[in-house]
Amino acid sequence: MSRRRAPICESKGTGENMPRIAIYPGSFDPVTNGHLDIVERGLKIFDKIIVAILHNPCKKALFSIQERKEMLADCLKQFPNVEIDTFDGLLVDYAAKRQAQGILRGLRALSDFDYEFQMALMNRRMNREIQTVFLMTGLRWIFTSSSIIKEAAQFGGDINGMVPPMVGRKLKEKFRHRP
């Protein structure tokens, strides 16, 4: 008698007709061209991406959550299948609540790997249904981060081409009113 073997990877909620949804979490303080590059790459494999800004009291932010949300919405307005949202608490709980199958993360340099690996394994331990997907950031953005761009902007450095023009203007405005 032959017994049918169960597929190794039979996960709930990933039927053929279900849209493939990924959460792209982060601080986005502010969004950079590196982040946008990951969203665009992600859209090639997911039907919908929810860019989720973390309410993180441990990280001192330059922009309020509302400002970050508005900047992201403006930069991504050409993609009807991208939603901007905010979350707090555990990422896997938020992902499950939004019926997402994936967590999207960008890798820039080798130095990102340890932290991302640890976080992905911890998230998998907490919810095995949700897969973390890593995408390589475009080479042009490999050395960028929100902090380094903020630092350059604060001292009048040239950040053209590293952030969308609207974000560049917002950064200038912020630092004009600061000592």
Active site residue 77: no
One residue of 18, 45, 122, 136 binding ligand COA per CB under 6 A: 122
Residue 144 engages ligand COA in binding (rule: CB under 6 A): yes
Nearest to 41 by CA among 106, 128, 132: 106
Residue 137 engages ligand COA in binding (rule: CB under 6 A): yes
Give just the sign of the alpha carbon dihedral 86, 91, 94, 96: positive
Active-site position among 68, 69, 105, 108: 108
Q: Judge contact between 64 and 9, C-beta under 8 A.
A: no
Residue 14 engages ligand COA in binding (rule: CB under 6 A): no
Nearest to 95 by CA among 5, 22, 6, 174: 22
CA dihedral angle for residue 37, residue 136, residue 134, residue 88, rounded to 10 degrees: -40
| Closer Cβ to ligand COA, 17 or 160, answer by number | 160
Footprint of ligand COA (CB under 6 A): 25-27, 29, 32, 34-35, 38, 54, 90-91, 106, 108, 119, 122-123, 137, 141, 144-147
